[in-house]
């Protein structure tokens, strides 16, 4: 039996077992995917004993993404650039790590809006934390012309310019609304709008009506920001799609089948988040 898991501290809320369990069943694979609570002091040992414990690999979530990066061989340039890992796998006696958050965002964007072309586009990203890093890196790979980044702690937006170069334009947090004109995409990567947090308070009036509004928050499935966008008639991309799409490559690396993000999977996880969810 092929084994994989997700590690974090705490880990009890992770929906990854539901996602991978759906695909294991769908493809009739003799495998398992479990939640493993790993406290920070036990992280090193867990990663070095991965194979002895019978795991093909694991997903990594808070607070371990940066620490695990120090313990693996980066599998690709993007991961080396991000310095954070969400997917670990074993090959030829070595432990590799990769980061699929950015491709998860882009995969979700393209599935929601087939044919969307961000080449030469201007985009606005709210937030400059770990998730923003992965999203910004993926957007640059999509050929965007400019990423305006507004973050409460403005220094962190400036650091992204140092890291990613001249296409990054740090802007003041309270001036984000002024930069929406002529943007093709707005992405919230902050935790604002998440259940239990304050909503994101942003005036969308300067945003073109065909510009896309995306949120990486998925609890609730439709954040107040997305509801505001729907009300104006803007196309939206919900955060749950990114969670589903970031899981694809790990499953493929561990279990040998590239799975699909189906409507059925979306509905399954959406109902777990919100029992009243209706498509
Ligand atoms: P993640 O890995 O999910 O990106 P993170 O690295 O802790 O988590 O980043 C959280 C992001 O949400 C940051 O951009 C943070 O802004 P700061 O860099 O100023 O901390 C943003 N954020 C969290 N709470 C916020 C709030 N109340 N107002 C504005 N931004 C907030």
**169-189 pLDDT, tens per residue?**
999 999 999 999 999 999 999
Instruction: Please report, for the chain, the start and end positions of each structural domain, with discontinuous segments joined by +.
Output: 2-100+247-273, 102-241
Residue 160: pLDDT above 90?
Answer: yes
Cα 153 to middle of ligand 1, angstroms:
8
Task: State which ligand 1 atom lies nearest to the alpha carbon of 128.
Answer: 14
Residue 70: pLDDT above 90?
Answer: yes
Task: State which ligand 1 atom lies nearest to the alpha carbon of 197.
Answer: 27
**What are the strands, taking DSSP E only, across the chain?**
2-8, 31-37, 55-60, 73-74, 87-91, 94-98, 122-126, 146-150, 168-171, 185-188, 212-215, 236-237
User: How much is the pLDDT for 144?
Assistant: 98
Atom 12 in ligand 1: residue holding the nearest Cα: 190
Atom 9 in ligand 1: residue holding the nearest Cα: 129
Cα 92 to middle of ligand 1, angstroms:
38
Q: Which residues line ligand 1 (CB under 6 A)?
A: 127-132, 151-153, 156, 189-192
Dist. CA 23–CA 5, nearest whole Å: 14
Cα 144 to middle of ligand 1, angstroms:
23
DSSP H helix total and E strand total for the chain: 10, 12
Cα 201 to middle of ligand 1, angstroms:
14
> The whole model's pTM is what?
0.97
User: How much is the pLDDT for 279?
Assistant: 87
CB atoms within 10 A of CB 142: 18
Distance of CA 66 to the CA centre of its chain: 15
Task: Kindly list the strands in the beta sheet with 94-98, ordered across the sheet, starting from the edge strand earlier in the chain.
Answer: 31-37, 2-8, 55-60, 87-91, 94-98, 73-74
Instruction: Say whether 102-241 and 2-100+247-273 share the same fold.
Output: yes
pLDDT tens digits for 1-57?
999 999 999 999 999 999 999 999 999 999 999 999 999 999 999 999 999 999 999
Residue 217: pLDDT above 90?
Answer: yes
| Cβ within 8 Å of residue 180, ≥6 positions away | 124, 186, 204, 206, 207, 211
The CATH code belonging to domain 102-241 is 3.40.50.720
The CATH code belonging to domain 2-100+247-273 is 3.40.50.10860
Catalytically active residues, by annotation? 65
Residue 203, both tokens: 């005036």
């Amino acid at each position: 039996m092929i084994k994989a898991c997700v590690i974090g501290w705490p880990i009890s809320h992770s929906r990854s077992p539901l996602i991978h369990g759906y695909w294991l069943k769908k493809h009739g694979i003799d495998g398992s995917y479990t939640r493993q609570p790993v406290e920070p002091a036990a992280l090193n040992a867990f990663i070095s004993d991965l194979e002895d414990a019978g795991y093909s690999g694991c997903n990594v979530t808070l607070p371990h993404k940066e620490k695990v990066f120090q313990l693996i061989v980066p599998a690709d340039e993007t991961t080396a650039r991000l310095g954070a890992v969400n997917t670990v796998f074993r090959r030829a006696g070595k432990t590799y790590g990769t980061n699929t958050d950015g491709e998860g965002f882009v995969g979700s964007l393209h599935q929601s809006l087939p044919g969307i072309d961000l080449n030469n586009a201007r985009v606005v990203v709210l937030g400059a934390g770990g998730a923003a890093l992965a999203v910004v890196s993926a957007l640059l790979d999509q050929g965007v012309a400019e990423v305006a980044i507004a973050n409460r702690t403005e220094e962190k937006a400036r650091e992204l310019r140092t890291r990613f170069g001249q296409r990054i334009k740090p802007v003041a947090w309270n001036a984000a609304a002024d930069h929406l004109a002529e943007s093709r995409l707005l992405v919230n990567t902050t935790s604002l709008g998440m259940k239990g947090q304050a909503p994101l308070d942003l005036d969308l009036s300067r945003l073109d009506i065909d510009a896309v509004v995306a949120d990486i928050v998925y609890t609730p499935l439709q954040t107040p920001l997305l509801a505001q966008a729907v009300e104006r008639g803007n196309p939206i991309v919900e955060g749950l799609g990114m969670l589903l799409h970031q899981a694809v490559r790990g499953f493929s690396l561990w279990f040998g089948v590239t799975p699909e993000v189906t409507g059925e999977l979306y509905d399954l996880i959406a109902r777990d988040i919100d029992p009243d969810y209706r498509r």
